[in-house]
Structure 1
């Protein structure tokens, strides 16, 4: 009886826990004074054992594991977005995309791996909302637990 009760409690807790952390991709609200930026990492076999570092300008904002995403409130203006395999500092050879962030808009950046003969490269790719939603649904992507504070802060700002 104790085993059944304990198993039920554990299943209920993990069910509630997964609902809390499997957030949808909220869109930024019109009139917000920031842009909302999502980094998304789908499933894949290459590099799956390593967290990918996400950078906005020179600042590492999150390390994302497989099937995870993060959300960030970003000030308007032109920013550089990078992804790389590891490290607290940006690497000179890391691929960069520049996006002119507008207040009240939402942006989605997918972390993709380009497989080469000798080296695998990570590339940030700006994608549409529909592509991001499909990626979240198909790959069962959830918010990364290590980036939950940034995501909560961004979502709280959107909900205000």
Structure 2
């Protein structure tokens, strides 16, 4: 029962808090926001399934990513090449990005997604958990929304001596 409540709190509460409420107290959301949320879910599922092709489908070819450590990766092919070893590593337990807010631009085909992320890794001395916040820039294209850039900031690390390295 506790795990069901935890899942509901992680999934439903942020959605209900961040969605707009119309005059009839019905939760509504723009098609653009719903699309970006669905694409984020697809990206998270691709990480969970260790599917590089699906993971790359949400990105523009010229994506720019700044990782939580501060390192920078340019281009979808480079991003995919950089995560491929993690996808093959049985000690990599995954990343989950949780959307907190999506702002759709009124002046350009852009959107800003704000959220928090968690990365987990099996280490000899326990499960290392790294957490932080992120900001993603999405661009609306002829084929739908795609990620143009992402900035991840690591804010905490627990569970392993490797956190201090």
TM-score, normalized by length of structure 2?
0.28
> Which of the pair has the greater relative contact order for Cα pairs under 8 Å at 6+ separation?
1
Higher helix proportion (structure 1 or 2): 2
- TM-score when normalising by structure 1: 0.29
Greater share of strand: 2
